[in-house]
Chains A and B, each alone.
Chain A
Amino acid sequence: DQQVKQNSPSLSVQEGRISILNCDYTNSMFDYFLWYKKYPAEGPTFLISISSIKDKNEDGRFTVFLNKSAKHLSLHIVPSQPGDSAVYFCAASATSGTYKYIFGTGTRLKVLA
């Protein structure tokens, strides 16, 4: 049972354009969400988070949007840069529980120069 889904395994975007990565979840108890970025041969690194009390969080070129009614979140990268090429994982947690995160399967982003 995949509680966190990233339905696009890969995405290619031109440099300077917007990258939109999507994530859907099924568990209504999830109230805290993270995006991680992973380069080859490295562990995932934290990118940006959002709590369910918000519908948007912005950090520089990265913005995460949360639509609780649709159980959907998205990560926008504007403008995209070649260094953004990596695998992006969304993760969700129910903070009333044990803070464990359930990860999606990842989306491989390739930003073309």
Chain B
Amino acid sequence: EAGVAQSPRYKIIEKRQSVAFWCNPISGHATLYWYQQILGQGPKLLIQFQNNGVVDDSQLPKDRFSAERLKGVDSTLKIQPAKLEDSAVYLCASSSLNYGYTFGSGTRLTVV
């Protein structure tokens, strides 16, 4: 089965610019997650979708981050405007109910 696809793999932007990441989950996986992993830390959940509805976005900095999941399949995560502390790897994961995740390879964002 195809894995979770993410693009781009790398992105370098200047602070105050905007950036968007894309994720295509495993076919049939209803639940999709975006995690932020800062260097030296474990992944931190930003937002969880069940189909195209948001289940948990309690740790999403909503003043600058937004996410959507179109038609319950692909998802985009946007940062506008970016700050230096947003430099991290952004991981997308999907799961079928009651099991662990499958992660994508991530997008490494560097804000300069």
Residues of A that sit less than 8 Å from B by CB: 4, 6, 9, 34, 36, 41-46, 49, 89, 91, 95, 98-106
Contacts and interface: CB of A to CB of B under 8 A. Distances in A.
B65 interface: no
Contact of B103 (A9, A44, A100, A104): A44
A105 to B, nearest CB: 5
A102 B104 CA distance: 17
Contacts of A100: 33, 45, 48, 55-56
A36 B42 CA distance: 11
26 contacts: A4-B42, A6-B42, A9-B40, A43-B6, A43-B93, A43-B103, A43-B105, A43-B106, A44-B91, A45-B103, A46-B101, A49-B100, A89-B42, A95-B98, A98-B50, A99-B31, A99-B97, A100-B33, A100-B55, A100-B56, A101-B45, A101-B100, A101-B101, A103-B35, A103-B44, A105-B40
Contact of B43 (A45, A49, A89, A98): A89
B80 interface: no
Contacts of B103: 36, 43-45
B42 A104 contact: yes
